[in-house]
């Protein structure tokens, strides 16, 4: 099978283009990929992690086809694919995992040992993640299909919920993972740093896990309004007021039980100095307002190389973190990529049985493939939307 294909391509800081790209093949380098499938992409989302690359804050090479949040229809299966069938509607975890290595067998699919020669862990269309072609395209190849893909059980039901289900490839499991690793449970008070899409997904996840009170902090009024729209309390961090002082009237205490860092390495100072970057700001803040013995989930992205950082130390991923404070308060920290497969089936069920409306929470906006550059620009400007690309116009239709 061979036909046309187009994709969103990184062309340098601040510049993405929609270009013609090769139609995917069931091949890995010079050998055939009998365990893979080719998907017609139904939805593919713009992620905050993509924005880090497009801003020039990573070592991403020009010409990289972007996109790691993929939902699609199987149109071709490799010879060795046994359980996934042509016509299946599937969610693609952003982690590429072989299913065979020690880490995969332990459920740690975010750090598979066999899919990236440079380091553990791989992803589609992402810097230092194995060179895999991204999925902000019309068609894409997915390897190890029987292991990686989540097949939706009913086609019509899946298509009806596609704007919710598209969040299963990354941000919904990632937000949920942040909350699980922070120890969120029934009756918890939770602080979430950042009201971008991952932070909003974490807030929904905290509610799903039974949190009594979910507080989100951000400096973007539009995003704080979006968080409030589904029952979150909010902290406007443009104020110079200490966070503990803002928390106390909301939760009745100056500390919370659990905290989630959904911001990552481009964190900025609070208050009047909010234009100034301070990469460890969120980590230090959440240690300050999390109770002794509490847990901190860190799904926000931190990188080993940040060429756009303000300091030489931060350019190499070295942060001025108050680790002594965390040690003194016996905090637990959990970092790294979310192992999507650990959660995506359960979260699919929550969507299909209408226990959660994740698309409404993150404020999905459908755009065309040709609208992707504008979506990147608007997202970079701070709009409170989650842009979902509809490459074939099938969802809008």
Give pLDDT tens digits for 168-177. Answer: 999 999 999 9
What does the block give as tokens for 227?
Answer: 């968080």
What does the block give as tokens for 64?
Answer: 């990289």
The confidence band for 315, taking pLDDT boundaries of 50, 70 and 90, is confident
Each residue's pLDDT tens digit, 241-298: 999 999 999 999 999 999 999 998 888 777 666 667 788 999 999 999 999 999 999 9
Each residue's pLDDT tens digit, 6-61: 999 999 999 999 999 999 999 998 899 999 999 999 999 999 999 999 998 999 99
Is residue 161 domain-shared with residue 281, that is, in the same domain?
A: no
Closest CA to 73 of 162, 9, 183, 8: 162
Q: Is pLDDT at 1 greater than 60 in this prediction?
A: no
Average pLDDT, the chain: 95
Is residue 20 domain-shared with residue 136, that is, in the same domain?
A: yes
Task: Say if residues 66 and 55 touch (Cβ distance below 8 Å).
Answer: no
The partner residues of 364 in beta bridges, in order of sequence, read: 386
Is residue 61 domain-shared with residue 113, that is, in the same domain?
A: yes
Residue 362 within a domain = yes
Taking each helix axis from N to C end, the angle separating 171-181 and 344-352, rounded to the nearest 10 degrees, works out to 110
Distance of CA 59 to the CA centre of its chain: 19
pLDDT of residue 328: 98
Q: What is the mean pLDDT of residues 369-397?
A: 95
Domain encompassing residue 90: 6-170+339-389
pLDDT of residue 279: 82
Is residue 117 domain-shared with residue 204, that is, in the same domain?
A: no
Is residue 212 domain-shared with residue 131, that is, in the same domain?
A: no
pLDDT of residue 275: 67
Is residue 215 domain-shared with residue 316, that is, in the same domain?
A: yes
Domain count, the chain: 2
Q: Is pLDDT at 104 greater than 80 in this prediction?
A: yes
Is residue 162 domain-shared with residue 178, that is, in the same domain?
A: no
What does the block give as tokens for 164?
Answer: 């919710």
Q: Is pLDDT at 371 greater than 80 in this prediction?
A: yes
The confidence band for 303, taking pLDDT boundaries of 50, 70 and 90, is confident
pLDDT of residue 274: 62
Is residue 96 domain-shared with residue 189, that is, in the same domain?
A: no
């Amino acid at each position: 099978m061979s036909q046309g294909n187009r994709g969103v391509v990184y062309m340098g800081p601040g510049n993405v283009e929609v270009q013609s790209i090769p139609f995917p093949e069931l091949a890995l380098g010079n050998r055939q990929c009998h365990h893979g499938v080719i998907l017609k992409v139904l939805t593919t989302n713009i992620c905050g992690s993509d924005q880090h690359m497009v801003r020039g804050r990573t070592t991403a090479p020009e010409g990289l086809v972007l996109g790691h949040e993929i939902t699609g229809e199987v149109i071709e299966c490799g010879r060795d694919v046994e359980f996934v069938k042509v016509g299946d509607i599937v969610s693609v975890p952003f982690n590429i995992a072989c299913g065979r290595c020690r880490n995969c067998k332990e459920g740690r699919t975010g750090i598979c040992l066999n899919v990236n020669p440079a380091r553990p862990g791989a992803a589609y269309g992402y810097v230092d993640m194995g060179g895999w072609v991204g999925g902000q395209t019309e068609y894409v190849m997915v390897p190890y299909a029987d292991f990686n893909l989540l097949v939706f059980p009913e086609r019509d039901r899946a298509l009806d919920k596609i704007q919710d289900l598209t969040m299963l490839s990354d941000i919904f499991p990632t937000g949920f993972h942040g909350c699980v690793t922070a120890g969120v449970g029934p009756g918890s008070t939770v602080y979430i740093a950042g009201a971008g899409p991952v932070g909003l997904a974490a807030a929904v996840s905290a509610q799903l896990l039974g949190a009594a009170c979910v507080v989100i902090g951000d400096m973007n009024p539009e995003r704080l309004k979006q968080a409030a729209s589904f029952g979150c309390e909010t902290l406007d961090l443009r104020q110079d007021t200490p966070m503990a002082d803002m928390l106390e009237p909301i939760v009745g205490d100056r500390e919370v039980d659990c905290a989630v860092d959904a911001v990552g390495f481009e964190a900025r100072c609070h208050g009047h100095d909010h234009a100034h970057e301070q990469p460890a700001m969120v980590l230090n803040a959440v240690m300050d307002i999390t109770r002794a013995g509490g847990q901190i989930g860190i799904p926000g992205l931190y990188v080993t190389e940040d060429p756009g950082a303000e300091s030489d130390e931060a350019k190499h991923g070295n942060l001025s973190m108050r680790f002594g404070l965390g040690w003194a308060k016996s905090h637990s920290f959990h970092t790294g990529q979310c192992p999507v497969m650990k959660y995506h089936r359960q979260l699919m069920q929550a969507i299909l049985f209408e226990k959660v409306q994740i698309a409404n929470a993150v404020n999905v906006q459908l755009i065309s493939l040709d609208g992707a550059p504008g979506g990147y620009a608007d997202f970079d400007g701070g709009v409170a939307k989650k842009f979902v690309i509809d490459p074939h116009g099938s969802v809008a239709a």
